[in-house]
Amino acid sequence: MHELTIHLQPNAKEPLYEQIYSYVKQNIQNGKMKSGEKLPSTRMLAKYLEVSRSTIELAYEQLLSEGYIEAVPCKGYFVAQIEELFQWNPTKRNLPEETEEKAASYVYDFSPNGVDLNSFPYNAWRKLAGESLVEDRTELFRLGDSQGEWGLRNAICNYLYQARGVNCTPKQVVVGAGNDYLLMLLSTILGQNHTVALENPTYKQAYRLFQNLSYQVCTVDMDESGMRVEDLEKTNADIAFVMPSHQYPLGTVMPLKRRLALLKWADAKEGRYIVEDDYDSEFRYKGKPIPALQGYDRNGKVIYIGTFSKSIAPAIRMSYMVLPAPVLKSYEERSRFVNSTVSKVDQMILQKFIEQGYFERHLNKTRALYKNRHDTLLASLRPLQRFCTISGENAGVHLLLHFKNQKEEDLIAAAKEQGILVYGLSEYYVESPKRNEAVIMLGYANLQEEKIRKATALLIEAWKDLIC
| 161 interacts with a second copy by CB under 8 A | yes
- For residue 416, give the H/E element and its range: helix 408-417
Chosen residue from 23, 78, 106, 120 binding a second copy by CB under 8 A: 120
Minimum CB distance to a second copy, residue 90 (Å): 5
Question: Is the Cβ of residue 4 or residue 313 nearer to a second copy in the bound state?
Answer: 313
Q: Give backbone dihedrals phi and psi of 275, rounded to 5 degrees, phi first.
A: -95, 115
Give the separation between CA 128 and CA 131, rounded to whole angstroms.
5
x/- track of binding to a second copy for residues 352-381 (CB under 8 A): --xxxx--xx-xxx-xxx-x----------
| 102 interacts with a second copy by CB under 8 A | no
Residues 275 and 262 sit within 8 Å (Cβ to Cβ):
no
Its sign, for the CA torsion 145, 148, 153, 155, is positive
CA distances from 378 to 245, 300, 375, 382, 383 (A): 21, 40, 5, 7, 10
Minimum CB distance to a second copy, residue 355 (Å): 5
Minimum CB distance to a second copy, residue 36 (Å): 17
Count of residues in contact with a second copy, rule CB under 8 A? 104
Give the separation between CA 410 and CA 88, rounded to whole angstroms.
56
| 447 interacts with a second copy by CB under 8 A | no
Binding to a second copy in span 193-212, by CB under 8 A: 205, 208-209, 212
Chosen residue from 15, 36, 67, 271 binding a second copy by CB under 8 A: 67
Question: Is the Cβ of residue 16 or residue 173 nearer to a second copy in the bound state?
Answer: 173
Minimum CB distance to a second copy, residue 228 (Å): 28
Q: Give backbone dihedrals phi and psi of 300, rounded to 5 degrees, phi first.
A: 65, 45
| 26 interacts with a second copy by CB under 8 A | no
x/- track of binding to a second copy for residues 164-193 (CB under 8 A): -----xxx----xxxxxx--xx--x--xx-
Q: Give backbone dihedrals phi and psi of 84, rounded to 5 degrees, phi first.
A: -80, -10
Chosen residue from 3, 13, 30, 88 binding a second copy by CB under 8 A: 88
Residues 459 and 420 sit within 8 Å (Cβ to Cβ):
yes
| 155 interacts with a second copy by CB under 8 A | yes
Helix (H, G, I), strand (E, B), or coil: what is residue 424? strand
**Residue span binding a second copy (CB under 8 A) among the ranges 6-14, 261-269, 334-342, 381-389:** 334-342
Its sign, for the CA torsion 382, 387, 389, 392, is negative
Give the separation between CA 406 and CA 456, rounded to whole angstroms.
19
Binding to a second copy in span 131-150, by CB under 8 A: 133-134, 137-138, 140-144, 150
| 30 interacts with a second copy by CB under 8 A | no
Binding to a second copy in span 269-298, by CB under 8 A: 282, 284-289
Question: Is the Cβ of residue 41 or residue 330 nearer to a second copy in the bound state?
Answer: 330
x/- track of binding to a second copy for residues 405-444 (CB under 8 A): ----------------------------------------
Chosen residue from 8, 44, 46, 213 binding a second copy by CB under 8 A: 213
Residues 303 and 327 sit within 8 Å (Cβ to Cβ):
yes
- For residue 319, give the H/E element and its range: strand 319-322
Closest by CA position to 315, among listed 108, 120, 111: 120
Minimum CB distance to a second copy, residue 409 (Å): 23
Task: Say if residue 59 is exposed, middle or buried (CB neighbours under 10 Å; 0-12, 13-18, 19+).
Answer: buried
Closest by CA position to 261, among listed 232, 220, 292: 232
- Cross-strand bridge partners of residue 305: 277, 321
Chosen residue from 28, 292, 342, 460 binding a second copy by CB under 8 A: 342
CB atoms within 10 A of CB 234: 10
**Residue span binding a second copy (CB under 8 A) among the ranges 34-42, 115-123, 262-270, 428-436:** 115-123
Chosen residue from 13, 75, 93, 298 binding a second copy by CB under 8 A: 93
CA distances from 98 to 14, 30, 82, 102 (A): 36, 34, 36, 11
| 118 interacts with a second copy by CB under 8 A | yes
Question: Is the Cβ of residue 222 or residue 374 nearer to a second copy in the bound state?
Answer: 374
| 101 interacts with a second copy by CB under 8 A | no
